[in-house]
Structure formats: structure tokens, C-alpha cells
């Protein structure tokens, strides 16, 4: 098998031609599987043949679809977006096919025991069909299929609207008071000479953190939280209604119950109890933090507004901890952080990251070979780190190719990339990362480790293809290293003098300040999680704005800005985390417990890294996730490490 690096040199025409061929090839293979006489069925010609066919289909189209998020060619993005919709809708067709479902059931009825992972593969594949309506009468099954296709269309339109946002707020020089010069230097201007502050993360977050003009922050926050309004509000409410109809047809009381039936959490009762238990532990800390920020704000009003909390949080960091993140970023030039991060996790996981002249999708993309200690290439890895028109707006890890065993017995090397929007260079100043950017970088690199260290035999279980409430465990795990003094020394170096590391006093303050706002930060996480569950357990029509407004004030302690519609840009609920946003907290609890093993052995301990790689990263979903965690820890996971880590015991 040729295990060379992926290629990205697609054109709109070649994507269309590849799609046609891939769909036709898959249909031929599916028909052959269905046509096998029942008495001749075995694991290899039925279950394994279907797994290879679906994985080959997915792999062939994965990069063309990925290009919808990163290509600089608008026509190619359009064709790739159309392909993504077609594939998503075709997957509904596929998992409602009676002939394949019958074939799998014919094999299952033989009662063979092909192996633990193989039995799990059969069970999970059959479950995919059942969750798409197989087993229902023809009429409701056809209804489920139709509704699922409508839902996919709505979700992809929601995401497309967000990707194409190019709103900006025009501000005067005076209204940029408090912003550093490198921020102003890179902003575009209107013909009248005003500065354009966009909705992109490198503009929005620093402005909300630092701009002294409260009204300018209010206007930017309102613009930001009214992106894609009213279109996306309508799309989200349609999606919630469709999900409710689908779940009822499939025999579930709510959409959340339908989703959780195939998650670690198992049911809505467990999720609600977990969220309420955590809320009870955090309320006291959150209220104290709110009082501290209101004291700093001063004045008569005893309310911290949505456009104020980031600013006063940042002011408190500067006063209480003497942390000026604009100053600190001078010690985190991107190149130094990348090198340090590679060194740190190279030591922990026993690999090296070597720059390589591989094909890329844009001239700004950097490519690497991931090599094991014996020098053999284990995976391919890419960075695409700066904003550009038409590109995905946030930070994410994209699986570019799944690692899996191919039909000829060889192993296809995985590939993954971090797509982010960090501030680019400004004048003669290189790209500098705020400490929050560093934490984000480590988070996304955690997802990368899940992808590149997979040794799953089957594509269905490869890398991040785990339960949705486990997928954030490796990413939350790696965030912990960003707060370790020994690691901060390795990843820092002043951009004018790389030998000048982040001062020890500042390292101490950063670590001490880690939990200065953990009450409010996690109350905000709880708000999003509870909002998601409220949307997806509702029995009737949901007014998403009204529910958002009521819950935000109650749970996060900060009210929603009048006239804003933040749910219109809450992409997680239209991109895989619907009825699953709790997964971030759920995963962080597990990750904190796992990190305790590294703390006990030493955060750079290679033996613990190898054990973590073997038991948590390599299997993907080949085994029960809770069981793998228990193997690693020697006991079931507990919540106390998490509460201790955020100062909320």
C-alpha cells in the first residue's frame, strides 16, 4: 500500500468526478454484500466488507469536504459544501437500507463470536441502522428519513452562514483607546479613515478584553451576537423542532434521550444530575467573583453586562495578579511556542515532529511528519493558523485521514491538522500568542494526538470517532500542561530575545491566576450545557431567545444584552454537540482525573505517556471508554480531581 501523504490539489471539476465515481463504487460494493446467500455469510464478507466499503467511501471524500472549510477558491468551497450536504444526506439513505440491515442481521443471527472489537463493530453498526428508523414500519421509517435529510440541510446552511460572515464595526482612533499598537496596525480602514474591527476571534476577543470605551464594546458585542440574524435563529428553531419529531418517531421521549442512548452518560437523568451537582459546587465561587468585578466597575448598577465581563475580568488580572496579557504575549511568539510544544509532547509520547515538504492546501500551511522513536513515520500533521477570507472562523482540529487497517493488511497512516485564526504578524512584530491562545493551541493539539496516535483496526473506531462525551478528554488533558511551570519555561522566549524566558514571577502569577475566574467561566459552561438540554428536552415549540435570556441570567449570573440573539452563532448546537454540549465538562472531569496520574509520576514521564497513548489514544472507540479509563487509573473515574483543579472543593 502506498502510504504517502495526502494531496489537496483538487479542482471543482475533479471533486465532482471523484464524487460520482465514489458513489458508484460504493453502490456496487453494497449490492454485492446484500446479494450474498444467507448460508454463506461470515464476518469477513458481510461485517468487514461493509466496514471497508464505508471507510473507503468516507476516506475518498474526506479531503474534498475538508476543503469547504479552508480553500481560498470560492467556487471550490461551494462545490465542496454541496458535496458535504450530498454525503450527509446519502448517509441517511445508506443507514436506512433494508438490504444491508438484513444482511448484517443474517450474520448476527448465526451467533458467532468473532472477537471483542469485532462484536462491538457489529453491534455499533446495527445500532446506526436502528437509530435511523430500521425496525420501524415503512411509513414512519420513510418519515424519519425525510426529516433527517431536512435536518442536515438546515444544519449545513447554519454553518455556511456563519463561515461567510464579514461584518465589521467602524471605529475612530479614540474609540480604540486601550488597544495595543500592533492591533491597530493590522486593521483595515474605511475610506473615511475609521478602523474596521471584525467578528473574527483575533479582533473580537482582544477588543472585548482591552477597549476602554464601554459603548464601543457594547456595539461590538451586539453586532457579534446578532450575526446571521434572523436567518440562523429560524434555522435553529426549525432544527430543534425536526429533532423532536425524529426522536418521537424513533420511540424516544425527547431528542436528548435519543442522543444520550449512545453516549457514556446514557440518559438525561445522569446528565442533569451531573450539571446540577457541579452548579451547586460552583455557585458560591461564581458569586464571589462577580462581586469582585462589580467592585472594580464601581457605580450604582449592580449588574455586570455581557460587554463588560471580559473587560473587568482582564482589569482584575492586571490589578490583582499584575498580569498584562498584552505584555505577556511578547514571550509567546508563535515559532517558539510551536517548537516548545513539539519538544514537550515529543518527550511525553516518544515521537518527533519533523517539518516536511508535503503537499498543502494553502501557501501558509505548514506540514510535518510525525515519527516514532525508531524514525518510522507514524502520521502526518498540518498547521493552518491565520485568518483569511472564506476560511473556518474558529480553532479546530480536523481529521484529514483516518488511521485504519486496509483490506490488504497494511495500516493507513492518519493525518490531522489544526485550523486556527491566531493574530498574524504586524509590521516587524512576528505572530504573538496570548496565553489563552496558547491554552487553545494545547487543547487542539490534544485532539491531534487522538487522531495521529490511533491504532484502531477499523475506521469506524479510529481516532476521535469515540462517544461524543469522551471526544474532548484528550484535548482537555493537554490544556493542563500549559499551566506547568517547567512547560512554560520551554515554550516561552521574548520575541526580541528568544533566550529571555517568561519571568519566574510571571509564571507563578499565571498559575495562581488559573482559577481567578473559574467560577464564572464554568458557570458559563454550565449555562451552555443546561441551555442545550433545555432546548432538546422541551415537549413543544421552543422560543430559543426567551429560553437563552432566562437561563443566561440565572446560571451564568450575567444577563443577555437586550436585542441580541447569541444562539444564532451557537454553532456547536448545529454541528455535532446538540444535546451534547455537557460533553465538555463531562470530559474535563475525566481528563483531570487522568492528568492526576501524570502529576503523580511527573508531567513529562514517558512511561505514563506510553500507557496513556496505548490505553486511551490508540484504541479510539474499539473498547468501552469508561473501561479504558478504569484500566489506566486502576479505578473508575471520580469528580474530586476536577473540583480541586478549579479551586471549587
Considering the domain architecture, whether residues 220 and 364 belong to the same structural domain is answered as no
Specify if 149 maps to a domain: no
Residue 362 pLDDT more than 80? yes
The H or E element that residue 286 is part of is: helix 268-297
> Which pLDDT value is given to residue 321?
86
Give the span between the Cα atoms of 594 and 597, in whole angstroms: 6
Specify if 161 maps to a domain: no
Specify if 2 maps to a domain: no
Q: What is the pLDDT of residues 185-240, one digit of tens each?
A: 999 999 999 999 999 988 999 999 999 999 999 999 999 999 999 999 999 999 99
Give the span between the Cα atoms of 223 and 236, in whole angstroms: 19
At how many degrees (to 10) do helices 583-601 and 625-633 cross? 20
Considering the domain architecture, whether residues 116 and 181 belong to the same structural domain is answered as no
Give the span between the Cα atoms of 137 and 126, in whole angstroms: 17
With a CB cutoff of 8 Å and minimum separation 6, the contacts of 611 are 632
Specify if 633 maps to a domain: yes
pLDDT band at 410 (very low <50, low <70, confident <90, very high): very high
Considering the domain architecture, whether residues 609 and 631 belong to the same structural domain is answered as yes
Look up the domain containing 397 and give its range.
Answer: 330-515+584-645
Task: Report the pLDDT averaged over residues 271-288.
Answer: 96
Q: How many domains does the chain have?
A: 4
Specify if 82 maps to a domain: yes
Considering the domain architecture, whether residues 260 and 211 belong to the same structural domain is answered as no
Considering the domain architecture, whether residues 522 and 573 belong to the same structural domain is answered as yes
Q: Burial code of 295-304, b = ≥16 C-beta within 10 A, e = fewer?
A: eebeeeeeeb
> Which pLDDT value is given to residue 394?
86
**Pair 216, 559: CB distance under 8 Å:** no
Q: Compute the mean pLDDT over every residue in the chain, rounded to the nearest whole number.
A: 96
Specify if 501 maps to a domain: yes
Considering the domain architecture, whether residues 236 and 303 belong to the same structural domain is answered as yes
Specify if 144 maps to a domain: no
Decide which of 90, 120, 135 is a domain's last residue.
135
- Candidates 469, 416, 442, 433; CA nearest to 348 is 442
Considering the domain architecture, whether residues 256 and 355 belong to the same structural domain is answered as no
Considering the domain architecture, whether residues 547 and 601 belong to the same structural domain is answered as no
Considering the domain architecture, whether residues 472 and 556 belong to the same structural domain is answered as no
Grid cell at residue 442: 494545547
Cβ count near 410 (within 10 Å): 11
Considering the domain architecture, whether residues 272 and 412 belong to the same structural domain is answered as no
Give me the phi and psi of 65, to 5 degrees please: -70, -40
Residue 148 pLDDT more than 70? yes
> Which pLDDT value is given to residue 576?
86
Considering the domain architecture, whether residues 495 and 355 belong to the same structural domain is answered as yes
Decide which of 182, 198, 224 is a domain's last residue.
224
> Which pLDDT value is given to residue 2?
54
Considering the domain architecture, whether residues 385 and 506 belong to the same structural domain is answered as yes
Specify if 162 maps to a domain: no
DSSP string, 398-422: EEEE--EE-TTS-EEPPEEEEE---
How many CA atoms lie less than 13 Å away from 15 in the CB half-sphere? 26
**Catalytic residue numbers, as ranges:** 444
> Which pLDDT value is given to residue 1?
42
CATH number at residue 588: 1.10.1370.40
CATH number at residue 57: 1.20.1050.40
Decide which of 85, 111, 135 is a domain's last residue.
135
Predicted TM-score (pTM) of the model is: 0.90
> Which pLDDT value is given to residue 575?
85
pLDDT band at 625 (very low <50, low <70, confident <90, very high): very high
Q: What is the pLDDT of residues 433-486, one digit of tens each?
A: 999 999 999 999 999 999 999 999 999 999 999 999 999 999 999 999 999 999
Amino acid at each position: 500500500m502506498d502510504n504517502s501523504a495526502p494531496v489537496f490539489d483538487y479542482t471543482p471539476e475533479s471533486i465532482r468526478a471523484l464524487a460520482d465515481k465514489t458513489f458508484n463504487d460504493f453502490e456496487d460494493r453494497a449490492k454485492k454484500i446484500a446479494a450474498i446467500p444467507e448460508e454463506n455469510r461470515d464476518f469477513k464478507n458481510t461485517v468487514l466488507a461493509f466496514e471497508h466499503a464505508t471507510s473507503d467511501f468516507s476516506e475518498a471524500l474526506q479531503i474534498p469536504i475538508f476543503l469547504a472549510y479552508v480553500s481560498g477558491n470560492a467556487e471550490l468551497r461551494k462545490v465542496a459544501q454541496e458535496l458535504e450536504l450530498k454525503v450527509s444526506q446519502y448517509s441517511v439513505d445508506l443507514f436506512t437500507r433494508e438490504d444491508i440491515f438484513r444482511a448484517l442481521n443474517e450474520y448476527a443471527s448465526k451467533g458467532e463470536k468473532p472477537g471483542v472489537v469485532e462484536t462491538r463493530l457489529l453491534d455499533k453498526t446495527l445500532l446506526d441502522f436502528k437509530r435511523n428508523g430500521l425496525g420501524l414500519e415503512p411509513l414512519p421509517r420513510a418519515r424519519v428519513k425525510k426529516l433527517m435529510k431536512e435536518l442536515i440541510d438546515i444544519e449545513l446552511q447554519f454553518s455556511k452562514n456563519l463561515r461567510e460572515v464579514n461584518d465589521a464595526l467602524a471605529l475612530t482612533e479614540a474609540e480604540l483607546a486601550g488597544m495595543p499598537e500592533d492591533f491597530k496596525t493590522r486593521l483595515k480602514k474605511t475610506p473615511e479613515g475609521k478602523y474596521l474591527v471584525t467578528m473574527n476571534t483575533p479582533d473580537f476577543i482582544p477588543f472585548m478584553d482591552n477597549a476602554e470605551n464601554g459603548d464601543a464594546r457594547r456595539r461590538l458585542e451586539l453586532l457579534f451576537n446578532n450575526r446571521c440574524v434572523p436567518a440562523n435563529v429560524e434555522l435553529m428553531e426549525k432544527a430543534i423542532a425536526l429533532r423532536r419529531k425524529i426522536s418521537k418517531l424513533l420511540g424516544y421521549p425527547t431528542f436528548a434521550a435519543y442522543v444520550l442512548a449512545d453516549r457514556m452518560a446514557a440518559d438525561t437523568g445522569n446528565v442533569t444530575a451531573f450539571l446540577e451537582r457541579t452548579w451547586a459546587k460552583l455557585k458560591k465561587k461564581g458569586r464571589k467573583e462577580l462581586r469582585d468585578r462589580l467592585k472594580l466597575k464601581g457605580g450604582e448598577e449592580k449588574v455586570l453586562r455581557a460587554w463588560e465581563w471580559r473587560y473587568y475580568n482582564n482589569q482584575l488580572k492586571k490589578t490583582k495578579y499584575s498580569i498584562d496579557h498584552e505584555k505577556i504575549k511578547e514571550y509567546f511568539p508563535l515559532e517558539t511556542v510551536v517548537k516548545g510544544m513539539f519538544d514537550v509532547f515529543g518527550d511525553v509520547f516518544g515521537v518527533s515532529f519533523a517539518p516536511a515538504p508535503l503537499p498543502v492546501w494553502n501557501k501558509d500551511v505548514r506540514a510535518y511528519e510525525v515519527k516514532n522513536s525508531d524514525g518510522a513515520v507514524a502520521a502526518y500533521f498540518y498547521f493552518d493558523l491565520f485568518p483569511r477570507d472564506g476560511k473556518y472562523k474558529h480553532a479546530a482540529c480536523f481529521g484529514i485521514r483516518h488511521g485504519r487497517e486496509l483490506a490488504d493488511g497494511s495500516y493507513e497512516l492518519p493525518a490531522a491538522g489544526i485550523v486556527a485564526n491566531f493574530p498574524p504578524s504586524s509590521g516587524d512584530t512576528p505572530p504573538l500568542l496570548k496565553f489563552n491562545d496558547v491554552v487553545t493551541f494545547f487543547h487542539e493539539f490534544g485532539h491531534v494526538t487522538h487522531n495521529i496516535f490511533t491504532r484502531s483496526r477499523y475506521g469506524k473506531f479510529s481516532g476521535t470517532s469515540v462517544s461524543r462525551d469522551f471526544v474532548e478528554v484528550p484535548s482537555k488533558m493537554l490544556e493542563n500542561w500549559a499551566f506547568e511551570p517547567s512547560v512554560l519555561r520551554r515554550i516561552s522566549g521574548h520575541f526580541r530575545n528568544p533566550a529571555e524566558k517568561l519571568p519566574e514571577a510571571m509564571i507563578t502569577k499565571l498559575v495562581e491566576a488559573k482559577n481567578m475566574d473559574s467560577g464564572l467561566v464554568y458557570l458559563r459552561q454550565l449555562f451552555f450545557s443546561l441551555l442545550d438540554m433545555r432546548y432538546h428536552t422541551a415537549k413543544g415549540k421552543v422560543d430559543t431567545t426567551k429560553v437563552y435570556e432566562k437561563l443566561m441570567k440565572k446560571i451564568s449570573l450575567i444577563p443577555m444584552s437586550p436585542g441580541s440573539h447569541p444562539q444564532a452563532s451557537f454553532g456547536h448546537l448545529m454541528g455535532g454537540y446538540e444535546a451534547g454540549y455537557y460533553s465538555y465538562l463531562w470530559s474535563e472531569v475525566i481528563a483531570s482525573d487522568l492528568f492526576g496520574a501524570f502529576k503523580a509520576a511527573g508531567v513529562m514521564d514517558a512511561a505514563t505517556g506510553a500507557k496513556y497513548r496505548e490505553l486511551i489514544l490508540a484504541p479510539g472507540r474499539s473498547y468501552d471508554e469508561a473501561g479504558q479509563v478504569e484500566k489506566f487509573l486502576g479505578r473508575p473515574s471520580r469528580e474530586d480531581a476536577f473540583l480541586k483543579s478549579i479551586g471549587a472543593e
